[in-house]
Amino acid sequence: MAHVAPWKRTTVEGIVKALEQHRTIGVVSIAGIPAAQLQKMRGGMRKDVRMVVSKSTLLGIAIKEASSKGHPGLDKLGESISGPCALVVSDRNPFRLYKMMESTKAPAAAKGGEVAPNDITVKGGDTNFKPGPIVRELQKVGVPAAIEKGKVIIKKDAVLCKKGEVISKDLAGILPKLDIMPLIVGLDLRAAYEGGVVYKPAVLNVDEGAMRSQFGQGANAAFNLAMNLAYTTPHTVRPLLLLGHTHALTLGVRAGVVTSETAGPIILSSYMKALALAAKVSPEALDDEIRARLAGVAAVTAPAAAAAAPAEHAEGKKEEKKEEKKVTEEDAAAGLNALFG
């Protein structure tokens, strides 16, 4: 049996203890993060999130031991360990943990030799550079720079390095001068474990705004369905009672059932029907009061009817007048020809 250094055994035991004390365990990549910045990230974490940094082999051993001590499926988390990694443990759910890790990411300058995470592009336009050797330096890394009217300009947009390509040292030296930070440095959560399930970033990357909108749409659809089915719940009982009251009031008015609530609408309906009937009778057969009331109704409804008349009707009238005028002129010409022909 190979000899194991005591400090390694102590380190593994400490990691296992930390894993057993928290419900959520994550694997984060710390590749490319300077030591000072990593310490700052660790210090900026909340009290309920702890980072465990150690050699990848020791992290893997600790995960296997914790898996055999009551964390079924945790060993699958070890598959995400490759390169410089650390473990983060917390009692927050994996989705919250993912958001916290994403919040540590920030743009960073390249030193040369890194792989571009995205296309590195430069925009065309004026620059703050003074004419001089800078033009040749820019052109050397693919920037279409030139001097016009005593200014250094970039003639057009250009891609300096495509996604997946290695950033050269010459390009890395120019990018900060162009205010371009091509790298994203931060804790990259590769996987998280909770309750026997390992979650990948594709699952954890949830758009909360879109999720809230979907929940809202679902709640509205459920409410409408319950209202249409007259399904009583604490949320629908009041609207259903109001709807039933409205239907009962409408039915009572139409059936002529007089109550304290229907009396007013029934009288008003009867009054309007009487006026409509009076409008069909010869004015000479009506007394002055009825004629005055009919005149009042007509005065109120006439402006509304005029405003509601479609614009096409008015345009059609104009066209008809034009056509009538044209025909009249032709007839007049024909008449003159007949007189002097």
Q: For the residues 323-330, what does the mean pLDDT come to? A: 46
β-bridge mates for residue 185, sequence order: 106
The C-alpha atoms of residue 189 and residue 210 are separated, in whole angstroms, by 22
With H, G, I as helix, E, B as strand and everything else as coil, classify residue 197.
strand
**pLDDT per residue over 163-206, tens digit each?**
999 999 999 999 999 999 999 888 999 999 999 999 999 999 98
pTM above 0.75, yes or no: no
pLDDT in tens, 198-234: 999 999 998 888 889 999 999 999 999 999 999 999 9
> For residue 141, which of 158, 155, 126 has the smallest C-alpha distance?
158
Average pLDDT of the chain?
84
Select from 238, 241, 236, 205 the least CA-distant residue to 219: 236
Those residues whose C-beta lies under 8 Å from the C-beta of residue 82, and which sit 6 or more positions away, are 56
User: In this predicted structure, what is the pLDDT of residue 3?
Assistant: 64
Answer whether residue 310 shows pLDDT above 80.
Answer: no
Residues listed for the chain: 341
Handedness of CA 130, 134, 136, 142 (dihedral sign): negative
Task: Return the CATH superfamily for domain 120-182.
Answer: Ribosomal protein L10, N-terminal fragment, domain II (3.90.105.20)
How is the chain split into domains, by residue range?
6-105+186-206, 120-182, 256-302
The CATH number of 6-105+186-206, from 3.30.70.1730, 3.40.50.300, 1.10.760.10, 3.90.550.10, is 3.30.70.1730
